[in-house]
Structure 1
Amino acid sequence: MDATMAEYEAAAEQLTRRVYLGLREGRLDPQDAVALACALLDQFHCTDAVLEVVERNPAEVPPAEMAALARRLLDDAGFDPGFDLAPERLETLRAALRIVARDLPTRGIEGEPEIELLEDWFPVGAGVRLADGERLNWGGPIAPGMCDDPVTALTGLAVLIQESLLERTWQVWPVCPRHDLGVHGAEREREAVWWCAGDGGHTLAPVGGLARVLGRRRSR
């Protein structure tokens, strides 16, 4: 990517952030929406919303209508706010980690894990760091978009932690004591569970409830 293209994309990114924050905080500047529409048009995004914004006089567009158009522009741009811009997503992820952390002692892992923001990703993603400093980052950063729904966030986080530990140690966890099979995080009937495929499939435990089934290990 040449410098001109990188600068152009950085400017477009800043426009999407300004429009998003303006909508979020109820202070959208119509000129930001116009600038974003022009940037999208330059990238050959000739959508209805883009054409409407560039063709109309922003002073004549009612604020509610301009806000609706701006939201469509963000959709056209494929904009997905990172954890830095959508703190409610970060709180959902942290709540999910507190639940998953209840299961870690069954793997011999003590201490409270933490969510850390990864500022060098766009949108800003997140990772998990254990109390001993180890990072669990299988598959890359946690995507902000998976944290709009608590069940989706909890299921995805359980899978990430499980696969990260497997990649590091080559030791399957958790294991169903009845079938001696490794289980995996899954969503069943709007609940995040540890799912075993034995005997046609069954829930070993809800995510966060492994200790009642497997007990606690002393060593890692």
Structure 2
Amino acid sequence: MNFTHVAAWCGVVYVAFVADIYSRAIVGWAASPAKHTTLVLDALDMALWRRERTGHPVGPGLIHHSDAGSQSVMHRRYCAEGLACLVSCSGRHCSVHSEEQARQVVDALSGRIYTALRDGGLDAEPVLELASSLEEWGMSTPATQELLERPATRLTTADLTRLGESLLRDTNFEPTFALEPRLWATLEHALKVVERDVRARGITGKLRLVTHDWDNGGHAWVEFQGDHHGNGISPITGRDPQTALAAVADAVQETIMELIWRVWPVCATHDLGLHAGWEHGIAIWWCTGNGTHTVAPVGELP
């Protein structure tokens, strides 16, 4: 048993089907404009009816297997009737592989929508596909419901823009460095500014930003003398130069202190470690000695 969705002019159509593994024939099927439990129940009922009609009613030992998440009610019904069931994915409780697959699909479709919203030319296909995928994986929102209930031909450009933006918010989408190279450029510039403070205190060693294949979040990491430490920097940080400057300063500080085993930078007045932060929208170094006070803007340590 499995089901899928098809983007049609009238909207999204869901199709469920049951295949006989021995004969490889499709023995039951059903279609519906909505993904209700009855969709998959009808497909399986048809398969059972056809078996009985041909003189081969279902008996003990027949195994039903499903790998789709919206059929948990069906499993409860037919397993209770004695049909052996194999479930590899039920509801939101899927295997790690299935969750990773879903995330990859959502990320790819979200990226297409983001790019089209930015550059113009958004059409219904990726928006409907993303809405269908989110519903299929158990994430129903007002935007997904509106998209799946309205005919695609009645979606205006304004509708697609509004609903596309809603879906990106629903998925907490953030553009990657590949989609927005300027975000990386902003972080690179911030690193050069922070490096002035590093060299002003006599610290040598190569500083650079890197990414890692193992990091599914696509963060930037500060590398010092060929090693890194601490947390990565999200691409979205590069949207604002001062936010990027404070984040890079914090990451540089954490990495350098871990690798040189001493505090950096230090307040010359109170001999305390400084902290990266903001003051009136400007990235600064501040000290807690004798009450909080600003030492210098990031990049301008004496």
- TM-score tier, shorter chain, comes to 0.7 to 0.9
Matched, 1:189 2:280: yes
Tell me how far apart the structure 2 counterparts of residues 175 and 5 of structure 1 sit (CA, whole Å). Answer: 45
Q: How far, CA to CA, are the matches of 1:5 and 1:184 in structure 2?
A: 39
CA separation of 1:205/1:5 partners in 2, compared to 1, >3 Å: closer, same or farther?
closer
Q: 1:202 corresponds to which letter in structure 2?
A: H
Aligned residues: 208
Q: Counterpart of 1:88 in 2: which secondary structure?
A: helix
**Alpha-carbon separation, structure 1, partners of 2:213 and 2:146:** 34
Tell me the alpha carbon deviations over residues 159-184 of structure 1, each in whole angstroms, 9 at most, x when there is no partner: 11111111222200111111111111
Paired residues of 1:83 and 1:117 also in contact (CA < 8 A): no
- Equivalence for 1:163: 254
Contact 1:151 1:192 in 2 (8 A): yes
What does the per-residue CA deviation read over 1:170-219, in whole Å, with 9 as the maximum and x for residues that have no partner?
A: 20011111111111111112111110111212111111011xx2xxxxxx
Amino acid at match of 1:183: L
- 1:218 matched residue in structure 2: none
Deviations 1:16-51 (A, max 9, x none): 222222222212231110010011112332211111
2:269 alignment partner in structure 1: 178
Q: Does 1:207 align with 2:298?
A: yes
Question: Which of residues 178, 191, 194 is equivalent to 1:97?
Answer: 191
Aligned residue among 216, 225, 240 for 1:149:
240
Pairwise CA distance, 1:2: 4.2
Check the 8 A contact 2:131/2:147 in 1, yes or no.
Answer: yes
Higher helix proportion (structure 1 or 2): 1
1:128 is aligned, of 202, 222, 226, to 222
- Equivalent position SS for 2:163: helix
Q: Is the 8 A contact 2:222 2:255 kept in 1?
A: no
Report the identity percentage.
Answer: 36
Structure 2: give runs of 5+ residues left out of the alignment: 1-94
1:66 maps to 160
- Letter of the 2:193 counterpart: I
In the other structure, the counterpart of 1:113 is: 207
2:138 is the counterpart of 1:138: no
Q: Is the 8 A contact 2:229 2:258 kept in 1?
A: no
RMSD: 1.9
Shift of 1:112: 6.2
Structure 1's 6 and 199: CA in aligned 2 closer, same or farther, altered over 3 A? closer
Partner of 1:216: none
Q: Give CA deviations for 1:89-115 in whole Å, capped at 9, x if unaligned.
A: 212211211211111113433476332
Q: Distance in 2 between matches of 1:162 and 1:179?
A: 18
Cα distance in 2 for partners of 1:6, 1:199 equals 50
Which structure would you say has the larger RCO, counting Cα contacts within 8 Å and 6 or more residues apart? 1
Q: 1:32 — aligned with what? A: 126
Higher strand share: 2
Contact 1:155 1:192 survives alignment (8 Å) = yes
